[in-house]
Amino acid sequence: MKQKRATVTFQPEGIIVEVPLGETILTATKKAGIILTIPCGGHGRCGKCKVLINKGQNSLKGDFHTKTLTLKEIEDGYRLACQTKVEGDLEIFIPGESRVISQKILSDSLPVKMEIAPVIIRQQLTIPQPEEHSNMADIDRLLVEIKKTFPHQQIIIPYENLQKLPKILRKKNWNITLTYQKTSTTKLEILEIQAGQANGSILGLAIDIGTTTIAASLIDLETGERVQTASCVNSQMLAGEDIITRIHYASANFSNLIRLQNFVIKDINNLIKSFDCKPRQIKALTLAANTVMTHLFFGIDPSYIWREPYTPAVSQFPTIQADRLGIKIHPLSKVRALPCVSSYVGGDIIGDILVSGLHQKDKPSIIVDIGTNGEIVLGCRSWLLSCSVPAGPALEGAEAKCGMRATMGAIERVTINPETLEPTFNIISAEKPLGICGSGLIDLIAELFQAGTLTKAGRFTVRDHSRIRKGVHGLEYLVANKEETITQQDIVLTERDISNLLRTKGAFYAGYVTLLKSFNLTFQDVDTFYVAGGFGDSINAKNARTIGLYPDIPLEKIKSIGNGALGGAGLTLLSEKFIDTAKRIAKSLTNIELSKNYDFMDEYTLASFIPHTHLDYFPTVQKLIETGGIKY
Amino acid sequence: MKQKRATVTFQPEGIIVEVPLGETILTATKKAGIILTIPCGGHGRCGKCKVLINKGQNSLKGDFHTKTLTLKEIEDGYRLACQTKVEGDLEIFIPGESRVISQKILSDSLPVKMEIAPVIIRQQLTIPQPEEHSNMADIDRLLVEIKKTFPHQQIIIPYENLQKLPKILRKKNWNITLTYQKTSTTKLEILEIQAGQANGSILGLAIDIGTTTIAASLIDLETGERVQTASCVNSQMLAGEDIITRIHYASANFSNLIRLQNFVIKDINNLIKSFDCKPRQIKALTLAANTVMTHLFFGIDPSYIWREPYTPAVSQFPTIQADRLGIKIHPLSKVRALPCVSSYVGGDIIGDILVSGLHQKDKPSIIVDIGTNGEIVLGCRSWLLSCSVPAGPALEGAEAKCGMRATMGAIERVTINPETLEPTFNIISAEKPLGICGSGLIDLIAELFQAGTLTKAGRFTVRDHSRIRKGVHGLEYLVANKEETITQQDIVLTERDISNLLRTKGAFYAGYVTLLKSFNLTFQDVDTFYVAGGFGDSINAKNARTIGLYPDIPLEKIKSIGNGALGGAGLTLLSEKFIDTAKRIAKSLTNIELSKNYDFMDEYTLASFIPHTHLDYFPTVQKLIETGGIKY
Ligand code: FES
Ligand code: FES
């Protein structure tokens, strides 16, 4: 007799879910709250979603399995979660490498001193009661009193606040608390009218929607304090890990687009629920995200953003009432997004600029935002230049053989004994390592180079060593052997991994130089080198400089600004002037297209070495080599 | 065995509905689309909802029946629809007097000549396509082109119109049709963006929400033509026939208020469905209604409007997007209401003024709006004065023994042979009469007075006549005997009916005089006497003047403006300047409270005669008496 539903048990968590027969294992994992890594968007092409069937069916559908898994894996019981339907009760083991684990997000504090002039203000009022010869409409009576405080402002009262007005006014003897939101310099909109004296903090929400992670910080709009922060995986991951897959998905039809929009809105609502406040206390929301993520958040078609000639639909996003978007904060709150400059330069970069204060400095500074896509800004008070680095996610650990994101199990810091070549490493929140994240890769290359085991071109100078051996992709360095790892497989750094990373860091370096050159500047002219994103804090700046990812400037000029998107979004909540500043920055920022820039191409070729073809560009490294600090 | 549901057959229509046991007959009538008259709001107190049970149960619940029906009626099988639950299959006859029948509504043509400058405009545009070195956001590209036509306007693009923008632009090769709505003199909001060249008329909807009837007219915003009109009974009747009952109902709790709001919104949506156009073609809506009805439409608490010191919640109503109210026209259309001046002077009166053009004239004119509540306006270009007549709905036929509204079966015109006292009458849409409506009452009194059978005080001078006899309330005139009527009961005009009507018309006359006196004017100074409302057309102006409801001025100075609320609402759709004019009128209108005005009280006493205590105020009537045209 056929079963209609089946139970699926996920190990090692032991989570049991009940699903209708015919659903994919991928869908079942979602129900269990487990997020699998699905780089190909669940189309059976990447093989990354593999899971191990412990008990239950083992039928094999389609030829996706044979194309992505080894025969051994298939025989062992590995299946693609996205291609395998539940046909009966199952017990499934999910290997660590198939999971997306909530990332370590650095949400940094706001700049220390600033004048707080929040967009939300509160006022207590006592209104004279109506009498026989003074019986104008309640609203007019209220407006007369408001005008005494705000004579020059246009006061807007949303319809929802009129509906119950008569009883609210009379409830506490015509004593009320008004909460306004400034919608422009001349307009005040009444957000809330409460009887009597209202208490409780007024909160604002800053949101950073990353391709993989959504981070939120709750800010007290009166004190400027950050009350709480939270982050979660962006559920859009279920529709594809990378941006291109999501654009294709959203482009197919309008309901797909709305589905992606709803994913993030639901994520944001869940983050809101996790905070220790009443959702209605949150009275403003600002979002900072890259151009595609911002489009998806608003449900605006992103089809042409990443297609020549690269036109986003919108750059300055509209201000929308929270309830129209389904965001569960005070329904009349305004939701804003930091503006985007172009297809590649989004609100996240505007946030970086706001937080760094680069747009206010006399001398030029550089911001580098190292994420899935690298962005560089060079500028000062008078001008702003930006470019997107045409580099893959090598620094996110995605391209290396044993690479992974900076999540649980990642090797994030490494030192190598130059004599024995034995490594010592830090692992994020785990005993045993699972892989190597970007900062770990940088450390490894820098340490190996300093130990004299790597050439400028990133080739091993040593072979037949217990740690350096021949692998499938040229020589490789054994970081941890299988006895020490979670996966029970060796963790290695291959020559291919190194050359991938050198290409990426070369693109960044070439980016800095190309921007500087267009104003005839050199690194000597740079006031500060800001590093935005979680990387800024986890990267060993000295090592990053040694391999040439950072330029050779004094370490004290290198500053981490953490999550600039989140910080910048927060600033606009605390002072309305930042909203205008953000728009002004977006308008004045000039983006340079590197992919067809010959200067860039030349610089790129020169920079794909450790630290650079021209050692004299890295005097610090040169000096270390001369003094023997680096064996070379 | 117990039945769960029962069928109820309504006669004479023969409509059959199936209802759960335990529902009231009143609810069942609603399902059958039959609207009963329920002045007490369905609380069993007025007895007006009585229906005759032809077949089926005849049990009797509660003591409401004995208090409101006669023993004979109960024995005959009459039951209160609101108090009787369905216990099994039933056949029910609904007497005409228990029904509310769709009223005869006069929806009048707009003033002949006016400049049309509608709030909705349409534009065709061709936009240069993006290229490698011109790849700004789609929206910015669009705005550049729009700005060429509207350089000084702020262009607002609602979020909904951004979502699909990229594909719409590209669908017909960057040829599009834009529809804008003017939201202020400096702002244009994009209502719709369509690919290619869009056709079809652009329509606007004018709505008049009366206490009993909702009227709508569909207007072509480009030609100014009225395309279609429709009207229906205001479903709020189900919650009470009169305004006070509805205020109490809405005041009890917020969900009651929203229920009343939803009633009218559903009615309006049904009217929209009845039109021969796509709902999305309707791109603007203006509403004109009295203060309470306007509050209820917006779901704004009306609790204190009719309670001392008479304060409405709102006078200038907000402009709201149609989809926020659930009105099924183009979702981004603006819904506006003509402003209200006070608890008694609503947007309907502002509409009357707009249509009459009184606010533009050099010489003062009068508008009288004879509805459930009488309103009078006196004014000119420089000043505007208004008052509400503290009179019951006598002119709507509600107070007379055989009175009824101007609906099917009502005697609306009467002439009486002065020799035989035999009447001749017109009946609205029926063969046999059901009762007498306001215009019929006026004719009867005027004709009886002219025949010399009534004194100035409204007492019969004749008795022991086949047509004049003694009834329960003094003498009465037999208008139609039971053989001739639908109800098979005599239709009569009693002395009490006459004195009720004289009191009402006296109040109106005293109202005119009181307003005139405050500016030291007389009827000689009045340029035009406008009559607004359905009455204007159906009343015999000469008779109305004979009994003193209208002042004694030349008949050519008396003009009917029909449904001024509907007309005024329509004007604001055709020219934005009328929106401002309406606001200006509302602000400059001074309302005089008559209920405590001594001048008014004195005038009222003098005016409650036919035509007036001082016959010399009515020289035309005086002359007729002197020449024998009126037997007196
Ligand atoms: S194979 Fe790529 S997600 Fe399943
Ligand atoms: S008794 Fe008044 S409605 Fe039924």
Check residue B436 and give its pLDDT. 93
In a domain, A129, yes or no: yes
Tell me if A528 is assigned to some domain. yes
- Lining residues, ligand 1, CB within 6 Å: A 38, 40, 42, 44-49, 68, 80, 82
Which residues neighbour A532 within 8 Å (Cβ) at sequence distance 6 or greater?
A: A352, A355, A356, A367, A368, A369, A370, A560, A561, A562, A563, A564
Taking residues B604-632, report their average pLDDT.
89
Task: Take residue A64 and report the two structure tokens written for it.
Answer: 């996706």
Helices (H), B209-290: 243-252, 254-274
Is residue B71 located within the same domain as residue B168? no
Residue A109 has pLDDT above 80, yes or no: no
Which of A138, A158, A311 is nearest residue B130 as measured by Cβ atoms? A311
Residues with a CB atom less than 6 Å from ligand 2: B 38, 40, 42, 44-49, 68, 80, 82
Look up the domain containing A453 and give its range. 396-495
Query: Is A132 domain-assigned?
Result: yes
- How many domains is chain B built from? 4
Give B64 Cα–ligand 2 centroid separation in angstroms: 9
Closest-approaching ligand to the CA atom of A26: 1
Helices and strands of chain A, counted as H and E runs: 19, 27
> Residue B85, class by beta-carbon neighbours within 10 Å (0-12 exposed, 13-18 middle, 19+ buried)?
middle
| pLDDT reported for residue A372 | 67
Could you report the per-residue pLDDT of B457-507, keeping only the tens digit for each? Answer: 999 998 889 999 998 878 999 999 999 988 888 999 999 999 999 999 999
- Ligand 2: distance of its center to the CA of B62 in Å? 13
pLDDT per position as a tens digit, A543-580: 999 999 999 999 999 998 888 999 999 999 988 888 88
Chain A residues inside the 8 Å CB shell of B342: 135
The answer on B409 and B487 residing in a single domain is yes
Nearest to B204 by CA among B193, B191, B189, B220: B220
pLDDT in tens, A16-35: 778 888 889 988 887 776 77
- Residues of chain B in contact with residue A170, where contact means CB-CB under 8 angstroms, are 304
Q: Which tokens sit at B497?
A: 């009916």
Atom of ligand 1 nearest to the CA of A41: 3
CB < 8 Å to A315, chain B: 136-137, 139-140
Q: Is residue A454 domain-shared with residue A367, that is, in the same domain?
A: no
Q: Is the peptide bond before A12 cis (omega within 30 degrees of 0)?
A: yes
For residues A513 and A610, state if they share a domain.
yes
User: Do B516 and B611 belong to one domain?
Assistant: yes
Q: A172 or A33, which is more confident?
A: A172
Q: What is each CA distance from B583 to A154, B359, B362, B522, in whole angstroms?
A: 17, 12, 20, 29
Interhelix angle B495-518/B438-450, rounded to 10 degrees, is 100
Three-state secondary-structure class, residue B489: coil
Asked if the model's pLDDT at residue A101 lies above 70, the reply is no
Res B443 pLDDT > 90: yes
For residue A126, the cross-strand partners are A175
The answer to whether the CB of B45 falls within 8 A of the CB of B64 is yes
Q: Are residues B433 and B555 in the same domain?
A: no
CA distance A557 to A541: 11
Amino acid symbol at B281:
Q
**Pair B507, B616 in one domain:** yes
- Tracing tokens 């197919």 back to the chain, one arrives at A252
Q: How far apart are CA A330 and CA A279, in angstroms?
A: 6
At residue B372, does pLDDT exceed 90? no
- State pLDDT tens for residues B543-588: 999 999 999 999 999 998 888 999 999 999 988 888 889 999 999 9
The region that residue B164 occupies, defined by phi over 0 for left and psi between -120 and 50 for alpha, beta otherwise, is alpha
Q: A208 alpha carbon to ligand 1 midpoint, in Å?
A: 27
Relative to beta strand A282-289, strand A334-337 is: parallel
If residue B21 lies in a helix (H) or strand (E), which one and from where to where? none
User: Within this chain, do residues B388 and B425 fall inside the same structural domain, yes or no?
Assistant: no
Predicted confidence (pLDDT) per residue in A230-249, tens digit: 888 899 988 888 889 999 99
Q: How far is B136 from chain A (nearest CA, A)?
A: 6
Q: How far is B250 from chain A (nearest CA, A)?
A: 11
- Tell me whether residue B314 is in a domain: no
Alpha-carbon distance of B476 to B497, in angstroms, equals: 9
Question: Residue A335's closest chain B neighbor by CA?
Answer: B159
Q: Which pLDDT score, from 0 to 100, does residue B100 have?
A: 60
First-to-last CA distance in chain A?
A: 73
B317 within some domain: no
Torsion of Cα atoms, A51 then A55 then A60 then A65, to 10°: 20
The secondary structure of B129-188 as a DSSP string is PPBTTB---HHHHHHHHHHHH-TTSEEE--THHHHTHHHHHHHTTTEEEEEEEEEETTEE
How close is the Cα of B50 to the center of ligand 2, in Å? 7
Same domain, B378 and B430: no
Shared domain check, A533 and A612: yes
Candidate from B135, B139, B300 with C-beta closest to A313: B139
Nearest atom in ligand 1 to the alpha carbon of residue A40 is 2
Beta bridge partners of A253: none
| B149 and B89 housed in the same domain | no
Choose, out of B247, B304, B325, B343, the residue to mutate when testing the contact with A (most A CBs < 10 Å).
B304
CB count within 10 Å of CB B63 equals: 10
Neighbouring residues of B249: CB distance < 8 A, sequence distance ≥ 6? B41, B239, B240, B256, B260
pLDDT value for B265:
97
Minimal Cβ distance to B162: which of A163, A300, A303:
A300
Rounded Cα gap, residues A292 and A210, in angstroms: 10
Residue B2 has pLDDT above 50, yes or no: no
Burial readout A253-267 (b: 16 or more C-beta within 10 A, e: otherwise):
eeeebebbbbbbbeb
Distance (Å, whole) CA B68 – CA B47: 5
Is residue A47 domain-resident? yes
For residue A331, what pLDDT band results from cuts at 50, 70 and 90? very high
Q: Is residue B58 part of a domain?
A: yes
Last residue in a domain, options A495, A523, A556 = A495
- Is the interface score ipTM higher than 0.95? no
Q: Which of B135, B136, B303 sits opposite A166 (nearest CB)?
A: B303
* CATH assignment of the domain containing A141: 3.10.20.880
Q: Where does the pLDDT of residue B114 fall: very low under 50, low under 70, confident under 90, or very high at 90 and above?
A: low
B248-293 pLDDT per residue, tens:
999 999 999 999 999 999 999 999 999 999 999 999 999 999 999 9
How close is the Cα of B22 to the center of ligand 2, in Å? 17
Interface contacts A/B by beta carbons within 8 Å: 123
Instruction: Please tell me whether residues B413 and B385 are part of one structural domain.
Output: no
The CATH number for B382's domain is 3.30.420
Atom of ligand 2 nearest to the CA of B26: 4
User: Which one is predicted more confidently, B453 or B29?
Assistant: B453
Taking alpha carbons only, the member of A581, A304, A315 closest to residue B136 is A315
- Calculate ∠ Cα A192-B326-B121, nearest 5°: 100
Which tops the pLDDT comparison, B413 or B393? B413
CB contact under 8 A, A166 and B304: yes
Instruction: Answer whether residue A508 is part of any domain.
Output: yes
CB atoms within 10 A of CB B466: 10
Given A169, A195, A221, which residue is the final one in a domain? A195
Neighbours of B623 (CB within 10 A): 12
pLDDT tens for each residue of B495-545: 999 999 999 999 999 999 999 999 999 999 999 999 998 777 788 999 999
Q: Which of A37, A68, A98 is the last residue before a domain boundary? A: A98
Nearest CA distance, A248 vs chain B (angstrom): 14
Instruction: Write out the residues of chain B at the interface with chain A, using a CB-CB cutoff of 8 A.
Output: 130-132, 134-141, 157-159, 162-167, 170, 254, 257, 298-301, 303-304, 308-316, 318, 320, 324, 340, 342-343
Give me the residue label for tokens 């699972």: A434
